[in-house]
Every structure is written in C-alpha cells, then in structure tokens.
Amino acid sequence: MKATVISAVGAGLLLVGTAWASGPGAHWGYSGHEAPEFWGDLSQDYAICKSGKNQSPIDLDSLIEAELSPIVFQYNAVPLNIVNNGHTVQVNYAPGSSITVDGHTYNLLQFHFHTPSENTVKGQFFAMEAHLVHSDDAGNLSVLGVMFEEGAANPFLDGIWVHMPEKAGVSKSLPEMTLNVADMLPANKSYYRFNGSLTTPPCSEGVKWMVFKNPVPVSKAQAEKFHTLMGGDNNRPVQPVNARPVLQ
C-alpha cells in the first residue's frame, strides 16, 4: 500500500516534469503566450522571472543620494561582430575591454538594444536603451544602461544599423569595420546604481546595474528601424523594486 502511494507520487512528479516540456532554452518573447508575464511559467529554469524579488527592469524613483565612485573605462576599438538573435540585435565585443568600479573589474562581453527603454525614470520611458553586459572573472554580471532620447541622428548607431542582420539567427563578422562603444556613452557619466537581474529569461539575479543619468540622441527613424526589425517592442515591463535602494 505504501509502495503504491509512493509510486503515485512519483507519477505525479513525472507529470509535473513533463509540464515543463520546454525545459532549458525554452522559447520566450514579448507578445502572446511567450510574453513577459508568462516567462516564469515557460520553464523551470525561468522560475525566478516570477518568484524573484530583485528583478529588472525597474522604475528609477525614490532615489537615495550617495557618493558613487566614478566608473573607470578601459574600452578598446574592436572589429564588428553583430547578431540578430530574434530578441535583440547584439554586438559581441572582442576580449580586452573592461570597466572598474570600486576596485572591481568587469570585462565587456556584448551590448544590445531595447525599444522602448526597459528601465524608466520617474515613470518616463526613453525611446531606446542599450545594455552593455560585463562579467568579472567569477561570472558576476554588471550591466551598464545607456538611455536614448529622440533627437538628432546618432552617427555611432548609423555605423551599426547599416549592418544589422534583418533575419533572426543571422550574425555578421566584419573585421574591416571597427568600433569603440566608448563613443556611444554620454559625456557626463554620472549614474544610478541598484541591484537587479537579467531582463530576459532566465532572469538571473545578482546583477549590478548602473544606468547613466544623461541620455544620448537617437533619431526617430533610427529607433523605428530597430523597432520594425524586432517586429515590435522588446522591453520587459518594470518590476517591483521591493526592498532595494536605488542610489544616485
């Protein structure tokens, strides 16, 4: 009798197991049944998208004044390697570029874009947001956010936009074209700082976020080109701040 009960529980667990049919790398998106509100249910690996208490993005409000040390940039020019992964357009950065914050160094891995912005400031969206994703040697992530405000055409983006692969899953490597993402950053590098997560599945937490206070320009045509290529918005809605302080 006891054995039967155990086997029934076992069968139950098996059924729960198959409910997570999609498993690691499950499909996700920004609309329909794969929209952000369902990410936590799409795969067990994405559970923290729903249960996490330190999720990104957030609305930057209720700011706490703090002495934030300047970010030290060590960014080099690299050959263009660009991929349309279906969720964003990402520029992969060759090794050797880094930032240092409070004596801790993070290596730049890649940067990519979201339209409209993911983080908001006092409830306001920006036209676009770029994320510069860094990792230290132990795998701890730090993301730098750059806000784009609608205005003049951005020459740095022009250099990238002409090479954006139109089809998802396509990447291009152009060794003859070099770029330095330092050229995309605002002149005034004051920033907001908070803890958060990846803004895409698996929504892993423990990510150190820094978002520049000052936006850089993007033309309406540039933002629209990216938005059209992505087939619509590719921003996760803001998440509860909970107990997190946002420093400025």
Q: Which stretch binds Zn ion (CB under 5 A): 126-134, 187-195, 212-220, 235-243?
A: 126-134
- Which of 131, 134, 227, 236 is the binder for Zn ion (CB under 5 A)? 131
Contacts (Cβ under 8 Å, ≥6 apart) of 57: 117, 118, 119, 120, 196, 199, 235, 236, 237, 238, 239
| Site for Zn ion, residues 169 to 208, rule: CB under 5 A | none
Amino acid at residue number 12 = G
CA dihedral 103, 107, 110, 114 (to 10 degrees): -20
Strand ranges, E, within 6-101: 59-60, 63-64, 72-74, 78-84, 89-92, 98-101
Give min distance, CB of 126 to Zn ion, in A.
Answer: 13
236 touches Zn ion (CB under 5 A): no
Q: Which stretch binds Zn ion (CB under 5 A): 21-29, 125-133, 174-182, 212-220?
A: 125-133
Give min distance, CB of 5 to Zn ion, in A.
Answer: 47
What span, in angstroms and rounded, lies between the C-alpha atoms of 57 and 43? Answer: 20
Q: Which stretch binds Zn ion (CB under 5 A): 30-38, 67-75, 131-139, 215-223?
A: 131-139
Which positions are annotated as active-site residues?
Answer: 87
Give min distance, CB of 157 to Zn ion, in A.
Answer: 16
Phi, psi of 196 (to 5 degrees): -160, -145
Nearest residue (CB) to Zn ion, 26 versus 211 = 211
* Cα four-point dihedral sign 3, 5, 10, 14: positive
Nearest residue to Zn ion, scored by beta-carbon proximity: 131
Residue ranges binding Zn ion (CB under 5 A): 131
